[in-house]
Amino acid sequence: MSLDDPNTTEEHECRYDACVTLPQSFIKENESEVQFRKLPGGLYGLYHFYDTIDKLGIAYQSIFGQWLPHSEFDPDERECLEFCMNNPFEDPEGKAKVDLYIPIRVRLLHIGKRNRL
């Protein structure tokens, strides 16, 4: 999970939480140092990123600076999710394959337009 905005935080200072999906039957230990959290559901925009990892910040800038303002959506306050789909060190081109999930909500202006149609 991305915890910082690369537009306002230096790339080397961006923070992330590493997460795994656990089955419903998982029983956590009371004395564990691992923190558990259930993520809220909601609407997400999905962007399939496949490039060198240094271009990931550019992808976020494009999503938030270009696509989102021209879409019918606004950003939501939930964290962005990054699902790493490969190991860039094992990729033939040295590229990272990452599915970016951008939390969004329908822009109120568009809701009104839909109701008038």
Task: Give the C-alpha separation, 20 to 34, whole Å.
Answer: 11
Assign residue 94 a region: left if phi > 0, alpha if psi is -120 to 50, beta otherwise? left
Has residue 89 got a pLDDT over 90?
yes
Express each pLDDT in 10-37 by its tens digit. 878 888 888 888 888 988 887 778 888 8
Over residues 33-88, the pLDDT tens digits come to: 888 888 888 999 999 999 999 999 899 999 999 999 999 999 999 989 999 999 99
Give the per-residue pLDDT at 113: 57
Asked if residue 99 has pLDDT above 50, the reply is: yes
- Given a cut of 60, whether residue 111 has pLDDT beyond it is no
Coil vs helix vs strand at 111: helix
The identity of residue 72, as a single letter, is E
Q: Which residues contact 61 (CB under 8 A, 6 or more apart)?
A: 6, 7
Residue 117: per-residue pLDDT? 45
Give one word for 116, left, alpha or beta, with left for phi > 0 and alpha for psi -120 to 50: alpha
pTM of the model: 0.77
- Is 109 a residue whose pLDDT tops 80? no
